[in-house]
Structure 1
Amino acid sequence: MKLSKRVGLLLFYATITVSIIISSIYIFIYNKLSESSVEIIINYKIIFIIILFLTVISNALIYNFINKKIIKRLKDTEDIIEKAIDKGLSEEIKNNNPKEQDEISNLTDEITNITDKLINTENYLEKETNNYSNLLNIMSNSFIHLKAIVDEEGNYIDGIVIDINYAASAFFCQEREKIINKKFSELYEEYNIDKENIVSVLKRINRTKSECITKELNIIGDKWGVISIYSLNEGYFSIIINDITDIKKHSEELTYLANYDTLTNLLNRYNLFEYLIKLIKNEEEFSIYFIDIDDFKNINDTLGHNTGDEVLRIVADKLLSLKYTFNMDSINKITVGRLGGDEFLVVKKGKDSIREIKNLANEIQRILYEEFEIENNTFNLKASIGISSYPADGDNVFTLIKYADISMYRSKEEGGNKNKVFSEEMLEEINMQSSLSSAIENKEFEVYFQPIYDVTKEKIVGAEALTRWNKEEGIISPAKYIPLAKKTGDIIKLDEFVLEEACKCCNEMYKLGEDEFKVSINISYAAIKQNNFIEKLVKIITKEKINPKSIKLEITEDEIIDNIDFTVGILNKIRNLGFQIALDDFGVGYSSFNYIKILPLDTLKIDRSLLKSLENDRKTLSIIETLINLSHTLGLNVVCEGVEISSQLELLRKINCDSIQGFYISKPIDFNSFKYFIIDFNNIERSE
Structure 2
Amino acid sequence: MKEDERGKMFEDRKIHYLTGLPNAGGYLDEIIRKMKDGTIQNYTAFYFNLKGFGNINQRYGMEKGDMIIVRLSEKVKDFLEDDEVLGHLGGDNFVALVKKERKEKFCRLLNGIEIILETEGHSYKLRIPSTIGLWDINDEFTDPGETIGRTSIALQYAKHIQHVPVVSVTDAMVERVAVQKSVLQRYQSALSNHEFLVYYQPKVDSRNNMLVGAEGLVRWKHKGEMVSPGIFIPPLETNGEIVLLDYYVLRRACTDIKRWIDEGIEPVTISVNFSRKDLMDPDLAENIDRIITNSGIDKKFIEIEVTETVDEQEHGELARFISDLDSRGIMTAIDDFGAGYSSLATLREFQVHTLKIDRSFINTEEFSWKDEIILRDIIHIATSLGMDIITEGVERQDQIDFINKVGCFVIQGFFYDRPLPVEEFEDRLRNKKYEKK
- Pick the TM interval, shorter chain: 0.7 to 0.9
- After superposition, residues 275-424 of structure 1 pair within 5 angstroms as 275-284=30-39, 285=41, 286-323=43-80, 331-349=81-99, 352=100, 357=103, 359-360=104-105, 362-368=107-113, 370=114, 372-375=116-119, 376-392=123-139, 394-414=141-161, 418-424=165-171
- The verdict on how the C-alpha distance between 1:549 and 1:264 changes in structure 2, with shifts beyond 3 A counting, is same
- The verdict on how the C-alpha distance between 1:593 and 1:419 changes in structure 2, with shifts beyond 3 A counting, is same
Q: 1:526 Cα shift?
A: 2.6
1:288/1:389 contact within 8 Å kept: yes
**One-letter code aligned to 2:52:** D
SS of 1:270's equivalent in the other structure is helix
- Offset from partner CA, 1:123-153 (integer Å, 9 cap, x none): xxxxxxxxxxxxxxxxxxxxxxxxxxxxxxx
Give the structure 2 partner of residue 426 of structure 1. 173
CA distance in 2, matches of 1:491, 1:256: 37
SS of 1:590's equivalent in the other structure is coil
CA distance in 2, matches of 1:683, 1:417: 47
CA distance in 2, matches of 1:662, 1:337: 52
CA distance in 2, matches of 1:654, 1:257: 72
CA distance in 1, matches of 2:318, 2:111: 40
Task: State yes or no: 1:668 paired with 2:425.
Answer: no
Task: State yes or no: 1:585 paired with 2:332.
Answer: no
CA distance in 1, matches of 2:134, 2:407: 52
CA distance in 2, matches of 1:346, 1:386: 10
Q: CA RMSD for the aligned pairs?
A: 2.7
CA distance in 2, matches of 1:258, 1:648: 67
CA distance in 1, matches of 2:47, 2:143: 16
SS of 1:462's equivalent in the other structure is strand
Task: State yes or no: 1:552 paired with 2:309.
Answer: no
Give the structure 1 partner of residue 318 of structure 2. 567
Give the structure 2 partner of residue 223 of structure 1. none
Q: 1:278 Cα shift?
A: 0.8
Higher mean C-alpha deviation, range 256-265 or range 589-598: 256-265
Q: 1:614 Cα shift?
A: 7.1
Q: 1:390 Cα shift?
A: 3.5
**One-letter code aligned to 1:410:** Y
**One-letter code aligned to 1:314:** R
- The verdict on how the C-alpha distance between 1:256 and 1:618 changes in structure 2, with shifts beyond 3 A counting, is closer
Task: State yes or no: 1:622 paired with 2:373.
Answer: yes
- The verdict on how the C-alpha distance between 1:393 and 1:618 changes in structure 2, with shifts beyond 3 A counting, is farther
**One-letter code aligned to 2:159:** K
- Runs of 4 or more, structure 1, over 6 Å off, are 254-257
Q: 1:560 Cα shift?
A: 6.1
Structure having the higher Rg: 1
Q: 1:299 Cα shift?
A: 2.3
The structure that is helix-richer by fraction is: 1
The normalised TM-score by structure 2 is: 0.87
Task: State yes or no: 1:266 paired with 2:21.
Answer: yes
Residue segments in structure 1 that go unaligned for 5+ positions in a row: 1-253, 324-330
CA distance in 1, matches of 2:344, 2:373: 16
SS of 2:111's equivalent in the other structure is helix
Which one has more relative contact order, counting CA pairs under 8 Å at least 6 apart? Answer: 2
1:637/1:658 contact within 8 Å kept: no
- Offset from partner CA, 1:130-187 (integer Å, 9 cap, x none): xxxxxxxxxxxxxxxxxxxxxxxxxxxxxxxxxxxxxxxxxxxxxxxxxxxxxxxxxx
CA distance in 2, matches of 1:450, 1:513: 21
- The verdict on how the C-alpha distance between 1:462 and 1:599 changes in structure 2, with shifts beyond 3 A counting, is same
1:393/1:400 contact within 8 Å kept: no
- After superposition, residues 653-664 of structure 1 pair within 5 angstroms as 653-664=404-415
- The verdict on how the C-alpha distance between 1:459 and 1:514 changes in structure 2, with shifts beyond 3 A counting, is farther
1:436/1:490 contact within 8 Å kept: no
CA distance in 2, matches of 1:609, 1:456: 23
Q: 1:342 Cα shift?
A: 1.2
Task: State yes or no: 1:464 paired with 2:219.
Answer: no
Residue segments in structure 2 that go unaligned for 5+ positions in a row: 1-8
Q: 1:498 Cα shift?
A: 1.3
Task: State yes or no: 1:542 paired with 2:299.
Answer: no
